Amino acid sequence: LQHSSQRHSINQTMDAIARVKRLSIEGNIAVGKSTFARLLSNAGRNWEVTPEPVSKWQNVEEAISQIRQPLPSPQQTAGNLLQMMYQDPKRWSYTFQTFSCMSRMRTQLQPPPVQLLQAGDVAVQVYERSIYSDRYIFAQNMFELGGINSTEWAVYQDWHSFLVEQFGPKVQLEGIIYLRAPPQTCMERLTRRGREEEQGIQLDYLETLHKQHENWFINKSTKVHFEHLKNIPVLVLDGSLEFESDSEMQTKFITEVTNFLQ
Ligand code: DCP
């Protein structure tokens, strides 16, 4: 009996997954992904936005203790991994990329909320970034810059591919929205928002990340390893526009995303 009810719930989950379209919003640091995600959360009642778990990376201990028992060694405090990575990239980039991808996998594996599935024929789940940009934008960039060495890169790619293959459709995306803007614009926004850990970031770092985005989404020269990503639809939007206080532009963006989903 337990077996058949388990099977029933797996079938329900798989059915639910099939009825949800999953999109990720991609773009350089500080381009405005969170603002855009908030905008999309108002696009329809069957849209759900999952914010990026940045705060978890800023306080690793708290993030972990919410999931399981406190860390085994009380004398040592697990700290602000985002800050550690920017202060000492060679020491901490691999650890950071492991933890950020893990926290995102955990989020992407959550089943879609029930109300989302009841609300309409097509439910839309929007993520800020994805386990794919973690790998093909950030980790790859850090490897190319020398913050991740070739052994760490091999290990990262191995577990990443293994987990994506194991989780299958649950972690797949149906489309990508690329908020595209010049690195200089992102630099200005980054300085304006003043997230403490990021204050040492230089324009040339944003330029390398911009190149990674362009290689994947525009030039299509990034080698991706998963079938579902090879021809994934990409909607490119002009992220340099200041849409936060422009309702006409917001409507235009929402229409573009809605059409993209058809
Ligand atoms: N980061 C990283 N590696 C990853 C993911 C993120 O180094 N795999 C870093 C870059 C930023 C911080 O984490 O310092 C958050 O990055 P995002 O660009 O994802 O988020 P933002 O808050 O900058 O997005 P936006 O301002 O566009 O909403």
* Three-state secondary structure readout of 151-183: HHHHHHHHHHHHHHHHHHHHHCCCEEEEEECCH
Burial class (CB in 10 A: 0-12, 13-18, 19+), 19: middle
Structure tokens at 241: 């526009």
From 258, 243, 236, select the one nearest 124 (Cα to Cα).
Answer: 258
Question: Which pLDDT value is given to residue 123?
Answer: 83
Distance 193 CA to ligand 1 centre (A): 13
Give the residue, by CA position, lying nearest to ligand 1 atom 8. Answer: 134
Give the residue, by CA position, lying nearest to ligand 1 atom 20. Answer: 29
Question: Which pLDDT value is given to residue 15?
Answer: 55
Triad 106, 110, 115: Cα angle to 5° = 155
Q: Which residues are catalytic?
A: 128
Q: Which residues line ligand 1 (CB under 6 A)?
A: 27, 29-34, 52, 54, 82, 97, 100, 129, 134, 138, 198
Q: Which residue type sits at 193?
A: R
How far is it, in rounded angstroms, from Cα 80 to Cα 59? 5
Helices 150-167 + 89-108 axis angle, to 10 = 0
User: CA separation (Å) from 138 to 104, 117, 155, 212?
Assistant: 14, 32, 15, 8
User: CA separation (Å) from 210 to 11, 29, 92, 197, 260?
Assistant: 41, 9, 22, 20, 23
Domains, the chain, in order of start with CATH, read 15-261 (3.40.50.300)
ipTM: 0.94
Q: Which atom of ligand 1 is nearest to the CA of 137?
A: 8
How far is it, in rounded angstroms, from Cα 139 to Cα 246? 35
3-state DSSP call for residue 234? strand
Q: Which atom of ligand 1 is nearest to the CA of 134?
A: 8
How far is it, in rounded angstroms, from Cα 6 to Cα 112? 18
Distance 76 CA to ligand 1 centre (A): 26
Q: Which helix or strand (DSSP H or E) is residue 48 part of?
A: strand 47-50
How far is it, in rounded angstroms, from Cα 51 to Cα 39? 12
Q: Which helix or strand (DSSP H or E) is residue 5 part of?
A: helix 2-19
**Alpha helices by DSSP H, 50-149:** 54-58, 60-65, 81-87, 89-108, 114-119, 131-133, 140-145
Q: What radius of gyration do the chain's Cα atoms show?
A: 19
How far is it, in rounded angstroms, from Cα 256 to Cα 99? 33
Q: Please say whether the beta carbons of 126 and 48 come within 8 A.
A: yes
Distance 29 CA to ligand 1 centre (A): 5
**Digitized pLDDT (tens) for each residue of the chain, 262 residues in all:** 445 545 545 555 555 555 788 999 999 999 999 999 988 888 777 888 887 777 777 878 777 776 666 555 545 556 889 999 999 999 999 999 999 999 999 888 887 777 666 655 678 889 999 999 999 999 999 999 999 999 999 999 999 999 999 999 989 999 999 999 999 999 999 999 888 899 999 999 999 999 999 999 999 999 999 999 999 999 999 999 988 888 898 899 999 998 998 8
Q: Which atom of ligand 1 is nearest to the CA of 100?
A: 8
Give the residue, by CA position, lying nearest to ligand 1 atom 17. Answer: 29
